[in-house]
Homo-oligomer: A and B are copies of this chain.
Amino acid sequence: MNLSKVLIYGMGLMGGSLALSIRRKFPEAEITAVVRSEKSKSTILNKQLANFVFLQKEFLTPNWSNYDLVVFSTPVESILKIIPILPKSGNTIFIDLGSTKETTVTAVESYYGKETHHYISTHPMCGSEQAGPDAAIENLYVDKLCILTKPNSASDSSFEWVRNFWEKIGSWTIEMDSKSHDETLAYLSHLPHVVSTILVNVAGANFRTMKEVTAISKPITGGGFRDMSRIAGSNPEMWISIFKENKEFLSEAIDDFILQLTEFRNLLKSDQPFDENKMRSLWELALSNKEEIRKSK
């Protein structure tokens, strides 16, 4: 497959890592980046992540058709603002790397209506608690899952092109409709990020815990807390955008969580005999769910 001109609109960790991957797999491709800050611009030039870098304010009337591929790697909110100015002709393929799909796909479908277009929404399932182009790494996408969502009226050949592109980058691909994507991700990604953040704040609000924590220079934590807090508080702008786009499914997932946690808490009531069998069955269920979801223990 050919790729001679790529535009990466928004170049943080994800966009920057994609630039490095493209450099490796499509060494002929010329990469243009568009970013918001001077700082990102100079990082990108220093790391040679792109051949050309523009600030957003220098890139107000882009000629999208100059590129074979345009990658939107900004929060979904910004993508929603750009969709209505995309061209309705030409062969440029548009993809985004957004973590939610429903609002983007709805915007694409309402903009193009029944006209054939080349916008495919994609979600590479990777990332890091790091952010910014400085944290970009070449193999971020290798052996990771990339979910592809095909809006109505998107051309089949563009969809296949995008699938091949991600597979060439090194990712595994599957197709999901936008609603299934957003509900599934609410449970497997968005809820875990909320829970990690709340967990850290609950410990932080307990007086005795923080008294002991601040009394010594070593952490009073084992590997459990370390793992459970790794993603806490990371990338607030990105997550606020995700929560905004996916608030219905995320609310549903939180409600389910509160319900199950309340049921567990009721097992601890001191006026009741301790139901060990019930607790054991919750633990066994978790082990089998974990194995099924992670495809491993």
A residues neighboring B (CB under 8 Å): 125-129, 144-145, 147, 172, 174, 176, 180, 183-184, 187-189, 191-206, 208-234, 236, 239-240, 243-244, 247-248, 250-251, 253-258, 260-262, 264-265, 268-270, 274, 276, 279-280, 282-290, 292-297
Contact = CB atoms under 8 A, between A and B. Distances in A.
Nearest to A254: B265
B248 A218 contact: no
6 contacts: A189-B224, A193-B224, A221-B293, A228-B231, A236-B280, A254-B261
Contacts of A282: 197, 201
B264 A198 contact: yes
A228 B286 contact: no
B203 A279 contact: no
B183 A292 contact: no
A91 to B, nearest CB: 31
B226 A294 contact: yes
A209 B188 contact: yes
Given A197-B283, A254-B261, A257-B199, A126 B223 contact: yes
A255 B265 CA distance: 8
| Residue picked from A188, A221, A254, A284, most chain B C-beta under 10 Å | A188
A219 B285 CA distance: 18
A202 B187 contact: yes
A228 B228 contact: yes
Contacts of A218: 145, 172, 174, 295
A276 to B, nearest CB: 5
Contacts of A240: 276, 279-280, 283
Contacts of A211: 180
A147 B294 contact: no
A53 to B, nearest CB: 28
A203 B216 contact: no
A257 B261 contact: yes
A276 B197 CA distance: 15
B265 A225 contact: no
Given A254-B265, A261-B198, A293-B229, A145 B219 contact: yes
A209 to B, nearest CB: 4
